[in-house]
A and B are shown apart, each in its own frame.
Chain A
Amino acid sequence: MYPPAPTGDALPDARQGGGQRVLVSSVSSDSHTWNLVFLQLMLEELGHEVINIGSCVPDDLLIAECRRTSPDMVVISSVNGHGHLDGRRLIARLRAEPDLSALPVVIGGKLGTRGAQNRAHGPELIAAGFDAVFEDTAGVAPFRRYLEDAARPVLESAGPARPALAATGDPR
């Protein structure tokens, strides 16, 4: 009835199969973890290798983990309503590091406390340095599409090999 679940043993092969190494993290003030577990399962399901560093992640730790694990993409998730504040601060810190300034970093979740109006935080977060913003009210489909685009081989030779897309409709 219950086949063994994936336990992370197969992770080293993910990149060879076209998957990416994705670092999943929350922000410093948010202790929620179910959202992070959901993202891990979804990313693994899509063939990516996931490094999940959990909740209440200080900015310095996130930067250190980015250097230690060399991810292809960083996915920040927050649901406590402070995500727009914590997110702006952490992306400014991260973009100020020369070796991390071009790393694809996206953020999503319940990023403010204003329900449907949280989408207004999208442009300011993009301006602050995120590559894409996925507000919870839009559902998870835009993020899935973003991942599919990110996994597709880049044909154009010009520009950085990272998609510029936001659920908020504000490409960087």
Chain B
Amino acid sequence: MKTVPALPAGGPSATVRRRATAPFGAAVAAAAAVGRLVVQPRMGFPDVPGMQAGLQAVHAADATTVGTITLDSYTRVGDHASARKALDDGSDLNGFPIVAHGAGTTRRMIGAVGASADFAIQVRHGSPLPLGIVQALLDAGLDATEGGPVSYCLPYSRTPLARAVDAWADSCELLADQVEGAHLESFGGCMLGQLCPPGLLVALSLLEGIFFRQHGLRSVSLSYAQGTSFGQDVDAIGALRRLAGEFLGDLQWHVVLYTYMGVFPRTPAGALSLLRDSAVLAAVTGTERMIVKTPAEAHRIPTVADNIQALEEAARSAEAAAGLSPGLLGLDAGTARGDNPVYAEARALVDAVLHLDADVGKALLQAFAKGYLDVPYCLHADNAQRSRSGIAPDGTLQWLSVGSMPLPPLNAASGTGAQRLRADDFLDMLSYVQRRYDDAALEELPTDTPRTPLPTSLAKD
């Protein structure tokens, strides 16, 4: 864990722009130094009053928070005229059109939130070609965003990977050049939201972090999305931290955990239980920041109030679990520090990719072309599509086929018979977490007993 808010020396001599917010990387480091989990929503509203009220509510929440400005779909694809027209017509947009509003308007809004003093804000978008968005957020006095050449290209776009790599290289350099200590988060730990085994998630997140550093960033975060097994998630985050220390030790870095990104529980109790488990996971693993989901998730777009409730629930759960160690949960301490199978798998992938070319961008392109990296169930034309994965009987995510990835071949002899992945079993896997948490919630009778520090779903593991 980084405890020094100051940036390590060695960064490029940046043209220092005046920030309108607290520095994002330093804000998370400062919270981590006093043992507080930073919690963050997903949130984007089209109009300034709505966006400003959302940011103010997050700032005022009873938790250590950073704010989010999620951009709309038109802005993500660079269609700013349509975003402007929607604003003029009063039509709804699914996020904040930062380019259409203009830098002055956004900067004034952030000023009204009081962000310059102690509130950091991240811009979230989802674009494989983010240069215009990065320019707009810099113009507005913001210093943090997220994504990556792989993680914002393969899952949701038809953009060729080579174009995304070039665009992200330019965007990283602009960000690093314009603001000292600008922060960039890799979304690589969240590929497709579910069913990707953690070794590949950890490797992709780290490789994007190395890519960011190669293009000048000095403050980065690596992501990981909560999976299907608490024990395997502890291993994965331990592996990610160990690799970050080994490869990015000269940077200011932290880990960001995403509450489960797949099909979400429908019952309020099941959804809250899953959210609390993610907060406990963050606390036990020393994770610095967490992006929450809300009980409204399975039904509608969450309101500000939904988000505040989720942020505060997550903060309370993390505080309650602060004294828990992996050992107290029956987990091996060495495994939790990264001496585990997820580390071995991620390290094998990372080493194979880095050996392909000294330029990480070129190495990533070659790795996908050769199938050394192969995201299961990702239909992008630049993904080899020969890997498949599934949920094992013990609840962990495992490979069903590794394709050409440099991983140990699967031992078919240990199998129970040569059966292929059936479509119905695939559907069952997609809703595995939803079913598990909803079933547990429906089985439980309401009681007035105080909540134990160990969520029920963990105790059952």
Contacts and interface: CB of A to CB of B under 8 A. Distances in A.
B300 interface: no
B356 interface: no
B427 A56 contact: no
Nearest to A56: B158
Contacts of A8: 385-386
B422 A1 contact: no
B422 A45 contact: yes
A2 B400 contact: yes
Contacts of A2: 390, 392, 398-400, 410, 412, 415
Interface in B153-180: 155-158
B380 to A, nearest CB: 7
Given A31-B156, A37-B426, A38-B427, A6 B420 contact: yes
A5 B392 CA distance: 14
A36 B430 CA distance: 13
Nearest to A57: B158
A7 B378 contact: no
A54 interface: yes
A3 B426 contact: no
Interface string B391-422: 01100001111010000001010111111111
A55 interface: yes
A-side interface mostly: loop
B386 A4 contact: no
Interface string A24-64: 00000001011011110110110000001111110000000
Q: Name the residue in B158, B392, B419, B427 with the highest tally of chain A Cβ atoms < 10 Å from its Cβ.
A: B158
Contact of B377 (A6, A7, A34, A56): A34
A5 B157 CA distance: 26
Given A2-B390, A7-B386, A37 B400 contact: no
Interface in B409-461: 410, 412, 414-423, 426-427, 430
What bracket does the count of chain B residues touching chain A fall in? 35 or more
Contacts of A36: 379
B331 interface: no
What bracket does the count of chain A residues touching chain B fall in? 20 to 34
A54 B381 contact: yes
Nearest to A144: B423
A54 B418 contact: no
A3 B392 contact: no
A5 B377 contact: no
A1 B427 contact: no
B105 to A, nearest CB: 29
B412 A4 contact: yes
5 smallest beta-carbon distances between A and B, as pairs = A54-B379, A42-B423, A5-B388, A41-B423, A5-B400
Interface of A: 1-8, 31, 33-34, 36-39, 41-42, 44-45, 52-57
13 contacts: A1-B392, A1-B393, A2-B392, A2-B398, A3-B412, A3-B417, A7-B403, A31-B156, A37-B379, A41-B423, A54-B380, A56-B157, A56-B158
